[in-house]
Chains A and B, each alone.
Chain A
Amino acid sequence: MAQVRTSSEVAFNRLAIVAVLVATVIFLAPIYWIASTAFKPRNLATTVPPTIVFQPEVSPFVKLFTKRSQLRAQPTPEEYAAAPWWERVVFDGGEKVVRDGKGAVQWSGYPSRFMNSLIVAITSTVLAVGMGTLTAYGFSRFRVKGEQDWLFFILSTRMLPPVVVAIPMFLMYRVVGLNDTHIGLIILYTAFNLSFSVWLMKGFIDEIPKEYEEAALVDGYTRMQAFFKVVLPEAATGIAATAVFCFITAWNEYAFALIMTNRRAQTAPPFIPSQVGSGIPDWTVIAAGTFLFLLPVAIFTFLLRNHLLRGMSFGAIRK
């Protein structure tokens, strides 16, 4: 049917498109502000009015990774000339890079927190998706007595407020010495993500026709072989999407990490806010840390774009 549109409809449509663009700009403004502050010289981060056009520099990232102290005296010209470019950047900011007795540059707290985040998020994702896929297959293909109740039980463990779970876990971890360890945090995140991964994977496996495995069984495969050689390859997209969701949840988690870790196993989310203590915070360094921390999630969001609806609704709504 050829659409006949009145001029007012066309005008309304144009207006809506403009409104969408305005909304997009507003929604992205805070993210743009993080990204741009991460490349600003310190004196331009908190100007009135805000600085929008500037010469980008990488000094915030140099400061993010190094331990620094206030300069007591200006460096001599020879010292300045001998210093590598990144050390000069710190000199320019009125600070100097802290070196140990052997002259090695001291790292700031950030890289180890970032590594902790990676270790904890990746390990807990592998565990949660691995166990979740098996369990989802069990629920999808076999008769389980009280299936709905079990699935509800699995889901309900996810609904608890983190602080409610954290109080007894903290006491128990204290007894067995798991506070401030990677393993302690990995267990918590695996438990947290497991319910999600069971629900999401069950949806994906339900969509794989049973006939595929039955044909494999007729061909002499065992049930195990059929699962590994027929079902898993078919479920690969679903597994990848579930894994990315679990990774993002563990990567972003704050409350458990705040309560259960303080130094050795601390992840980036509780570390970054702890940098805004007393005194005037250097927002360029915070922005640089935030920017690096958000980057993987932003990339994953684009990769996941076709699965977002399903993942965010626990598999309740499928396209």
Chain B
Amino acid sequence: MMTTLDSNSRAAARGLSDLSIRNLFIIPTILFLIVFNIFPLIYSLGYSFTDFRASTNAPANFVGLQNYRELLNDPFVWSNFAITAQYVIVSVAGQLVVGFGVAMLLNRDIPFKGLLTTLLLLPMMLSMAVVGLFWKLLYDPSFGIINYALGLGTFEWLANPKMALYAVALTDIWMWSPFVMLLSLAGLSAVPKHLYEAAAIDRAGPFYTFFRITLPLVAPILMIAVIFRTMEAFKTFDLAYILTSQPTTELISIRLYKMAFQEWQTGRSCALAYIVLIMVIAITNIYVKYLNKVKER
């Protein structure tokens, strides 16, 4: 009796070994992520080779690579990818120009700079779905404030197949330019002041200073912003789904959602999800490589 008590209290004094604490702290998280992130993907990989429909009780039949073959030969799916690419380019380019532009303007002594910066950052913190919905009112052709402010009369934004994608991108630019601005400000404030002083002594013009000093030094951080936004824009679902139902705004996420939860082509949608997944992994790899490079500096 005595000995057990003794050894127990000694163990308590020593506490758990570092090794067991490490395992205790790390393993639950890894397990949790495997069970709720990796296992579902394995589960859906299985379904992607079947003609399973979750809306019926019919058992799933193995169809081999048929889903993948049909998807990759489906011109509609390719047009969804093309729409997504167009959307990503327009919205990320817009965010880059607006975000970096506003950051350049902000990067000086301005009264209430902290308050202004925080106010400018507000849009990116808000819910895309809920604020996106309200943009429907802003875009309304007859009583929306956008047409009123720009003097566009009864210009159609969301009901116009040619304009709808740009309208969604414009809302996205509004929401996420602040993100590019935030990162740009960090980059700009890290440019050593003495470089500008040296340039001034050499009588360098503003263009020379911008292209030879500012831009090269801010470029790595801008690159992070671009990759980050590209990934997010590629995944866009909420905004486009809520704002319009035009075929011209059917991004790949929306196609996937409709295929899975409206047409109930479960097996096929699992295959499409895998095609999307591989693309995302490719972009993520580039992103993480870049992130590590920048962190090392």
Binding site for B on A (CB under 8 A): 1, 13, 16-17, 19-21, 23-24, 27-31, 33-34, 37, 46-50, 131-132, 134-135, 137-139, 141-142, 144, 150, 152-157, 159-172, 174, 187-188, 190-191, 194-195, 198, 222-225, 227, 248, 251-252, 254-255, 259, 268-270, 272-273, 276, 283, 286-287, 290, 293-294, 297-298, 300-302, 305, 308-309, 312-314, 316-317, 319
Contact = CB atoms under 8 A, between A and B. Distances in A.
A317 B134 contact: no
Given A138-B25, A163-B257, A276-B133, A168 B43 contact: yes
B224 A313 contact: yes
A20 B24 CA distance: 50
Given A20-B102, A144-B22, A254-B128, A163 B36 contact: no
Give the interface SS of chain B, mostly helix, strand, loop or mixed: helix
Contact of A167 (B33, B44, B123): B44
A314 to B, nearest CB: 8
B280 interface: yes
Closest 6 CB pairs of A and B: A222-B15, A254-B129, A168-B40, A138-B25, A252-B127, A168-B44
Contacts, number: 273
A258 to B, nearest CB: 8
B37 A269 contact: no
Interface string B1-33: 000000000001111101101101110111011
Contacts of B228: 313
B16 A223 contact: yes
B25 A48 contact: no
B41 to A, nearest CB: 7
Q: Range of interface residues on chain B?
A: 35 or more
B124 to A, nearest CB: 7
Contacts of B32: 131, 190-191, 194
B108 A28 contact: no
B25 A283 contact: no
Given A161-B280, A283-B137, A313-B228, A319 B288 contact: no
A301 B122 contact: yes
A162 B129 contact: no
Interface string B36-60: 1110110110010000001000000
Interface in B191-239: 197, 221, 224, 228, 231, 234-235, 237-238
Given A171-B44, A248-B125, 11 more contacts: A1-B197, A24-B119, A162-B235, A164-B273, A168-B47, A171-B43, A290-B134, A293-B130, A312-B124, A316-B224, A316-B291
19 contacts: A33-B137, A138-B21, A142-B22, A153-B30, A154-B30, A160-B37, A161-B280, A163-B256, A165-B40, A167-B273, A169-B40, A171-B266, A252-B126, A255-B253, A259-B257, A268-B130, A308-B182, A316-B224, A319-B186
Given A30-B131, A191-B32, A312-B124, A20 B235 contact: no
